[in-house]
Structure 1
Amino acid sequence: MKERILSVDIFRGATIILMILVNTPGTWSAVYAPFLHAEWHGYTPTDLVFPFFLFIVGTSIVFAYKNKPTNSKTYKKIVVRTLKLIGLGLFLGAFTLSFPFIKDFADIRFPGVLQRIGVVFFFASILFLNFNWKTLIGICAVILIGYWLLMGFVPVQGMESTFDRAPNNLANFIDVKVFGSHNYKADYDPEGLLSTLPAICSSLLGIFTGLILISKQEKKATILFGIGGALLILGHLWDIFFPINKALWTSSFVLVTAGWANLVLALIYYLTDVKGVKFGSIFRYAGANAIILYFLSSFISKIMGMIKMTEDQSLHGWLFDTVYVHDFMSMQLSSLLYGLSVVAFYCLLAFVLFRKGIFVKV
């Protein structure tokens, strides 16, 4: 039986539930500020969610591959899982309700959340299997510093580089050149090509945490708290020169989000694995089928937005207006209650799947 650390399962499940919550408000025109991404530089609680998931992907890699041989069978499993994740992401981007159920090629978005998870998982797994922790720290440092130098000092079309949302932003420039109309926005993609490099470091930092959790170190929670605090300080100091930015996945953003991830995981670890406090079972259930819950929530949400109840209103809009919008509450509260209802549904689904022993591996 595989070794399990309860706090890791709870952290993974809580992250996926938060991902679903922030992705499915009743209306995007009325959302409380903490549930929105920062407009560009800076970060909100919502900006922590995706890097938290990549972080815990790295931590989970340690448990899954710590005793795996570096042979073709192991690499094949990694490649197959990577292709499944990328395939599911491309399917979400391409699906439409009208026959033949695929958008016109020019309208398909190539990058995406699941695609980034797949690519990051692939490289983080390969690196973990082939290098020790000291080398991984060096690789992580090279990527983060190299990304900063590329973004800050490489001219773009003869113009001085910028970290702002502009044509002379290197990451944005590359995304437009490579993906063209297949980006999330006309001028950039938050899961773009160049910014995937530092995203790999989000998982590598999770790997370091996983190595601490399986080690014979005493006071692991204290160590994780210390690492989390140090990463937060370093990230905010780097913010002075390389602004914290999720859309660009800047190096300072990597350090700050990994810092918060370590602090949160350390707290959960201390309560559950050290003190034996019983809580968070529903998060554990969600964590057991995290990817399939995220995929289903995204797919069903997309379908509900496509189904038309009237010429101007989707099934999603009709349901929100009919059930959740009332004169006695603010539109932001109505929007949040809708999102919480969606989360409740997927928590129930996670509970049923867990109780029936159904674990969908992607």
Structure 2
Amino acid sequence: MAQTTPPQRLYSLDALRGFDMFWIAGGEEIFHTLAKITGNSFWQTLSDQFEHPAWNGFHFYDLIFPLFLFMAGVATPYSVGRQLEKGVERKKLLWRVIRRGLVLVLLGLYYNNGAKLHAWDDIRWGSVLGRIGLAYMFANIIYLYTKQRGQIIWFAGLLIGYWLLLAFTSAPGFPHGDLTMEGNFASYIDRSILPGKLYLKIHDPEGLMSTIPAIGTALLGIQAGNLLKNSPLSGGAKSGRLALGGVISLVLALAWNTVFPINKNLWTSSFVLCVGGISLLLLALFYYVIDVWGYRKWAFFFSVIGMNSIFIYLSGHFINWKYMTDGFFAWVGQWIAAPWNAFAMVFCLLAVKWLVLYFLYRKKVFLRV
């Protein structure tokens, strides 16, 4: 629905969200196209960072999804927390959080399956938006009914509990602790109880079981939001705390990786700490430069994207961006000789998307749930 911008926004959070969404709005095609045109190993290496690893390991592209979920957590003290301070009843906020979570689940179903009717077995229930909705919802329920210490205990408990669960169980016929796609317990449970189809037939990267540690990603964001909103420290000191937390998280992730591999498909506990550490470092940088130093102009490009992130994510289902781009800029592709015309058209596509978002920004129209 259309809403105006809420007051007292954390400007750096909008910019970081826009930086995150830029890559799936088409920014990754810059490196894919350069690698294809040049055949250069340097550009190919960068292009590979915008593809997910087959199973274990980490590429930059793995950060985009959990960074968005982390930022949803950061926003919680500024949204739900502010409502609590105003005296809004917890029960009312609880239903608001549940409603938002379920709406995101429904939007995820729409993103996966479109508006067409499908046979039950052809529906994919797991989705990026669905995971964000469920993880956001449960993390916010924890936030509503626990103090900060309780939230930290929940965070540690979810990560350690998930590790122990996968370490001492497996799919039938596999040894305990098997973490292959076929043998791990999380994928087995998803195959057993999730209706419809799984993304990889025997595994879904947005399955139910791996949503458990994803709640921890949102809780880590909530802790960062608590620091930024409630700490009496100076802005520079807050940035330093965030950066220190990011470094510690990365060190713990690398240590845990030796026994519980960093794996986005399973959203392993080491993966939570890895992407959480990078998210904390990015938030520290954006917050320090934008909100502490006050250098905002450079970030406006990203903020326009970040304030309509759900719109740009869903837009491919109801806007033919290629058709629109060709309508305005086909002459560019004709003017520039092959193969570099393909590279130029990537920027034309990004320009069209950004200008539509800028128009919505100027009209103060933002798609929210």
* TM band (smaller chain): 0.7 to 0.9
Structure 2 equivalent of residue 281 of structure 1: 300
Q: 2:74 & 2:366 partners in 1: Cα distance?
A: 19
Q: Structure 2 residue aligned with 1:38, among 43, 53, 61?
A: 53
Q: 2:31 & 2:220 partners in 1: Cα distance?
A: 34
Letter in structure 2 aligned against 1:329:
P
Letter in structure 1 aligned against 2:314:
F
Correspondence 1:360 to 2:367? yes
TM-score by length of 2: 0.84
TM-fit CA distance, 1:226: 0.6
Q: 1:153 & 1:75 partners in 2: Cα distance?
A: 35
TM-fit CA distance, 1:191: 0.5
Structure 2 equivalent of residue 329 of structure 1: 339
Deviations 1:50-102 (Å, cap 9, x if unpaired)?
A: 01000000001111011323433212211221221111111222226xxxx22
Please, which moves more after superposition, 42-51 or 74-83? 74-83
Correspondence 1:164 to 2:174? no
Residues 43/208 of structure 1: CA separation in 2 closer, same or farther (3 Å cut): same
Residues 152/287 of structure 1: CA separation in 2 closer, same or farther (3 Å cut): same
Q: 1:357 & 1:226 partners in 2: Cα distance?
A: 36
Q: 2:356 & 2:194 partners in 1: Cα distance?
A: 36
Aligned length: 342
Structure 1 equivalent of residue 118 of structure 2: 103
TM-fit CA distance, 1:105: 2.4
Gaps of 5+ in 1: 306-314
Q: 2:333 & 2:264 partners in 1: Cα distance?
A: 31
Structure 1 equivalent of residue 258 of structure 2: 240
Q: Structure 1 residue aligned with 2:213, among 180, 189, 198?
A: 198
TM-score by length of 1: 0.85
Please, which moves more after superposition, 8-17 or 140-149? 8-17
SS at match of 2:126: coil
TM-fit CA distance, 1:181: 4.4
Structure 1 equivalent of residue 148 of structure 2: 133
Q: Structure 1 residue aligned with 2:113, among 70, 73, 94?
A: 94
Q: Structure 2 residue aligned with 1:228, among 246, 264, 282?
A: 246
Correspondence 1:217 to 2:222? no
Q: Name the % identity.
A: 33
SS at match of 1:42: coil
Q: 2:261 & 2:345 partners in 1: Cα distance?
A: 34
Q: 2:331 & 2:172 partners in 1: Cα distance?
A: 51
SS at match of 1:182: coil
Q: 2:32 & 2:255 partners in 1: Cα distance?
A: 36
Structure 2 equivalent of residue 142 of structure 1: 157
Gaps of 5+ in 2: 1-5, 37-43
CA RMSD of aligned residues (A): 3.0
Q: 2:150 & 2:198 partners in 1: Cα distance?
A: 34
Q: 1:74 & 1:116 partners in 2: Cα distance?
A: 20
SS at match of 1:280: helix
Residues 181/75 of structure 1: CA separation in 2 closer, same or farther (3 Å cut): closer
Q: 1:125 & 1:4 partners in 2: Cα distance?
A: 19
Residues 327/186 of structure 1: CA separation in 2 closer, same or farther (3 Å cut): farther
Residues 285/244 of structure 1: CA separation in 2 closer, same or farther (3 Å cut): same
TM-fit CA distance, 1:20: 2.5
